[in-house]
Amino acid sequence: MKFSRFALCSLFASAFFFNSCVKQTFDAPPDTSQVDPNLPVNLSISKLSGIALGLGTGQSRVLGDSTIYGIITADDRTGNFYKTLVIQDSTGAIAVSISATGLYADYPIGRKIYIKLKGLTVVNYHGLPEIALSATASGSSVTVTGIPSTLLTTYVVKASFPHTVTPLKMRLDDLITNYIPYLNMLVEIENMEFETASIGAAYAAPSTQSISTSRYLHPCPNINNTTLQMYNSGYATFQPAIIPAGKGSVTGIFSFYNAVQFLIRDTSDVKLTGNRDCP
């Protein structure tokens, strides 16, 4: 998924701050974090993703009376994901476009949610399965309208918290060779290093210079000359953090926007603590 449309969070910072302050003037709602409404689920995420991918890029379909569930594996806390949640069940994962910010307050990583799909749309967003309110195609491009905040609780039902989703450990070559089953999945890619040109640089250029910056990693040894594009938002809280020089694993959401992409949630997903082996 191309997250440039998710990266403009600073434009909404004032409004979000105001809303946060307003919430603090009222009594907090009852804590229902351990409550699971146990809604009937009649569709898996993998089947829903398969519908999206079968449509072709830029195409969408309005959904019928079905319900899915998933555990949130990525939220908007650091700003690298914007107006988006990523959820995963035992079969697959999918992105959910929501026209609201500060989602992590109610929908943090680890929360189980149900999504009532009737009236929503599944879209093939440049090769990535996504749930939205609606989507409009224009040639090969598509404009997605997220679920508005006023309708969020109509479609998205909070359940128990917290849950742990263990990232799937993968080799980069295996992941890229057969990438479709892993789209939107939380994965841990082993034996990785950043390219030499990125070492010592910030994860992304400041938002005043660019919405996003791509950094590239490769496995070591790199027998097949494979690279992985890491998308980093210029609005992310970790934007100025420095890229490490070592070797190790990277964890994040395996994504796609006309080509494979990879997004971390924060820098704790990057564990390159070993000695670098490749040039």
**What is the mean predicted confidence (pLDDT) over 85-93?**
98
Q: Could you give the residue ranges of the DSSP H alpha helices within 35-142?
A: 45-55
Pick the CATH number of 3-158 from 2.40.50, 2.60.40, 3.40.50, 1.20.1300: 2.40.50
Sequence spans of domains, the chain: 3-158, 168-274
pLDDT for 8: 42
Q: Give the tens place of pLDDT for each residue, 20-54.
A: 344 444 444 544 578 999 999 999 999 999 999 99
**What is the mean predicted confidence (pLDDT) over 102-118?**
97
d(CA 95, CA 76): 12
Burial of 18 from C-beta contacts in 10 A (0-12 / 13-18 / 19+): exposed
Q: Mean pLDDT across the chain, nearest whole number?
A: 90
pLDDT band at 203 (very low <50, low <70, confident <90, very high): very high
Topology of domain 168-274, CATH = OB fold (Dihydrolipoamide Acetyltransferase, E2P) (2.40.50)
Percent of the chain that is helix, strand, coil (3-state, to 5): 20, 35, 45
The amino acid at 148: P
Equal CATH topology for 3-158 and 168-274? yes
Question: Does residue 14 have a pLDDT over 70?
Answer: no
**Residue 231, token pair as written in the block:** 């998308």
Residue 265 in contact with residue 74, Cβ under 8 Å? yes
Long-range contacts made by residues 132-139, C-beta under 8 angstroms, separation at least 24?
Answer: 132/60, 132/96, 132/97, 133/97, 133/99, 134/60, 135/60, 137/58, 137/59, 137/60, 138/58, 139/58
